[in-house]
Amino acid sequence: MNPAPTSPAGAVPLPATGAWREGDPPGRRRWHRRMRPLALEAGGVLPRLRLAFETWGRLAPDRSNAVLVLHALTGDSHVAGAAGPGHPTPGWWDALVGPGRALDTDRWFVVAPNVLGGCQGSTGPASTGPGGRPWGGAFPRLTQRDQVRAEVGLADALGIGRWALVVGGSMGGMRALEWAVGEPGRVAALLLLACPAAASADQIAWATSQVHAIRADPLWQGGDYHDGGPGRGPHAGLGIARRMAHVTYRSAGELQTRFGHAPQEGEQPLLGGRYRVESYLDHQADKLVRRFDAASYVALAEAMNTHDIGRGRGGPRAALGGVLARTVVAGVDSDRLYPLAQQEELAAGISSADRVRVVRSPYGHDGFLLETDQVGALVRELLDTAPRPPRARATP
């Protein structure tokens, strides 16, 4: 039996899930509700769904200044702003969004949804299913295309016929690419960061191993743990998955430089204590289990495994040839999870992409999140040449 994970004080077990639940503070979230069924690519139907989203800036009268920002696996709609009620962490790209920043909210209307299958306000395994209980293990299998179709509904509800820019990294980049291929007339400009045309065997292997770690937790219960009491969620399995993933998100050089072979202060590995890098991974795992849901992690990781822009479209090259948007493709030079060769394939296949832009960073895959000056320059490269929209107004 797994020990019940506790709060920092060591007294109160964590809730079964770190998902946002009904009754929690809404924070800056708004909701788009789709009341008709969404047929799913792998079969099955979501009878209805909702997407949580946040916005910054104002929509222009002609609705030409909207920018769609798509988050990675454990991200959410809170791209910018402080942590607070309803938002357990600060904005994950806060340095890019705001007046005078790359996504200048005096000019651009920025929209960020929580992905379908996520756990921060959108329909996912932790949300209420048709029977009035959490979906849990009955939540249907999703693909990136299903998620984008849900986001198309959000755009329609906002009256946005064409995005001035769609930007995403990692899993968000997969969805950004699906937008540009599946809805080519609705994407004026496209920024793809640290993502592939199709998930590789290596990426599927890592993700599948993480999914197995979660499902092996005795408290997984087939995914039906959400109504369990405090300490009754698969936190141990989710924590192991996060440790595995985080190693792939960082570079070997950075880990060696930061931690080397040193023991954690006050501990002796030869006597059962930890190395500094172990303590670091423990910290990353502890943070995630407090704000995320294990079943959402499984649903999103499996959706990422399905990513193949060429499926049913004549292969990746044919699909990429259909992109009409002005495109910048960028990768991180130290990324060992989504290596630059994958971004080179994208740039070679998209006629408007010219060369790959290289983000220089010691941090590995996480460089697309951390190197905000370099990423901001790529955003400006696309947006500074865009037509200036009319004076913006508040959205309905």
Say which of 76, 293, 308, 335 is annotated catalytic: 335
Q: Is 170 a catalytic residue?
A: yes
Tell me the C-alpha distance between 302 and 140, whole Å.
11
Structure tokens at 381: 């490269």
pLDDT value of residue 385: 76
Cα distance between residue 167 and residue 97, in whole Å: 13
Closest among 65, 61, 56 to 163, alpha carbons compared: 65
* pLDDT score at 245: 98
Please report, in angstroms and rounded to a whole number, the separation of the first and last CA atoms in the chain.
Answer: 51
Query: Would you call 189 helix, strand, or coil by DSSP?
Result: strand
**Which amino acid is present at 243?**
R
Alpha-carbon distance of 239 to 219, in angstroms, equals 13
Q: Measure the CA–CA gap between 166 and 112, rounded to whole angstroms.
A: 10
Taking Cα atoms as reference points, which of 387, 381, 380, 373 lies closest to residue 353?
381
To the query of whether residue 77 is one of the catalytic residues in this protein, the response is: no
CB burial readout 334-373, b (16+ within 10 A) else e: bbebbbbebbebbbebbeebeebbebebbbbbbbbbbbbe
Active site residue 217: no
Catalytic annotation, pick one of 64, 170, 296, 361: 170
- Choose the catalytic residue: 87, 296, 365, 366: 365
The tokens of 1 are what? Answer: 């039996």
* Integer Cα distance of 44 and 273 in angstroms: 48
Rounded Cα distance between 118 and 105, Å, is 26
| Block mean pLDDT (10 aa), the chain, length 396 | 46 88 96 97 95 98 98 98 96 98 98 98 96 96 98 98 98 98 98 98 98 98 95 97 98 98 97 98 97 98 98 98 98 98 98 97 98 98 78 50
Q: Which string of DSSP letters, residue by residue, matches 316-363?
A: HHHHHTT--SEEEEEEETT-SSS-HHHHHHHHHHSTT--SPEEE--SS
